[in-house]
Amino acid sequence: MKNRKIIGVGYQVGNKCVKNKEFEKIIDTTDEWILSRTGIKTRYVSTNKNTSELGFLAAKKAILNANISKEEIDLIIVATITPDNTTPSCSCLIQDKLGLNKKKIMAFDINAACTGFVYALQVASYMLSDYKCALVIGVDVNSKIVDYTDRNTCILFGDGAGAIIMKQEDTNNEMIHYANSIGDHEGFLSASGLVIHEKLENASREIGFIKQNGSEVFRFAVGALEEAISEVLKKANKTLDEIDYVIPHQANIRIIDNVAKKINLNKNKLYINLDKYGNTTAGSIPIALSEAITKDIVKEGMKIILVGFGGGFTYAASYIEL
């Protein structure tokens, strides 16, 4: 698919840095265990901003970075599993915060957990024939749904948002997508949120927290990332050697290392920042993309792959010529 281009990026993480050592005070763990089993050193928790506010801050930076007037935006898609409300959506709240209520805009949220941003990017890129300028955000305030007594999950997650501006443009640069989902793994990774129907017979589900079977998610993730990368390369008619950077979902360095080994991917081609931010769910990939571009590591003219997996299970990859 041609004629669409990412022209701006921005990100915002939570305000409070939480080091591994701090978990030693609340659960049975050690800094050494967390670092060696996940690669994470710190994560940022948002104690003063809700999901739409973090998304808004990332969006403002992306608009500035794209050097466009915010009035050009006619499509807002937010990927999140931790929205401020069931309705209005985060995308409508961000439209309001941007002062774009008088603009004709289509705004909606997507729930595909950690794959959310790649799904949203794909949807936006398909829509960029009717629409001209998309603001696509991945954001999660995971601390709202993390059980800080569960050592299997709480050490992994942070809060953050990443945003891109993608515009219809006359360009020969390719954007090729692959996406998949498998709906029968609820038992391995879930967060029930606030959706409880008291009239249902089985209404006794616990509310809210993320629950997971870590090793099952790990196993699934390795296969899913491998499949998504090889399928998107096939669709794009490219080899891994032709790719400058792979930006994977930042969940666990051991998952990424496993995939790199399986597909023979040079680790220098991976952009990793999970040591600093942990797993920010839908924020993870756009934060990494934004940071890599901001640091001038990933640049115009490069060929990159964004690849993610998450609850659902969902997984997806996008091949992008920047």
Residues near ligand UT7 (CB under 6 A)? 29, 33-34, 37-38, 114, 151-152, 155, 212, 214-215, 217-218, 221, 251-252, 279, 310
> Smallest distance from the beta carbon of 212 to ligand UT7, in angstroms?
5
Residues 6+ apart with CB under 8 A from 163: 9, 10, 11, 55, 58, 59, 61, 62, 135, 136, 137, 138, 286, 290
Which structure tokens are listed for 95? Answer: 């439209």
Q: Which is nearer to ligand UT7, 88 or 208 (CB)?
A: 208
Active site residue 177: no
> Smallest distance from the beta carbon of 161 to ligand UT7, in angstroms?
16
* Catalytic residue, candidates 90, 92, 114, 154: 114
> Smallest distance from the beta carbon of 112 to ligand UT7, in angstroms?
11
| Number of other residues whose CB lies within 10 A of the CB of residue 294 | 14
* Catalytic residue, candidates 20, 142, 249, 252: 249
> Smallest distance from the beta carbon of 41 to ligand UT7, in angstroms?
14
Q: Are 249 and 285 in contact (CB under 8 A)?
A: yes
Q: Which is nearer to ligand UT7, 8 or 138 (CB)?
A: 138
| Number of other residues whose CB lies within 10 A of the CB of residue 236 | 22
End-to-end CA distance of the chain: 13
Q: Are 277 and 43 in contact (CB under 8 A)?
A: yes
Segments in 128-213 forming alpha helices (H):
none
Residue nearest to ligand UT7 (CB): 214
DSSP 38: H
Active site residue 114: yes
Q: Which is nearer to ligand UT7, 112 or 243 (CB)?
A: 112
Candidates 298, 300, 304; CA nearest to 317 is 304
Active site residue 90: no
Q: Which is nearer to ligand UT7, 113 or 293 (CB)?
A: 113
Phi-psi label, residue 278: left if phi above 0, alpha if psi -120 to 50, beta otherwise:
left
> Smallest distance from the beta carbon of 314 to ligand UT7, in angstroms?
10
Q: Which is nearer to ligand UT7, 56 or 157 (CB)?
A: 157
User: Which positions are catalytic?
Assistant: 114, 249, 279
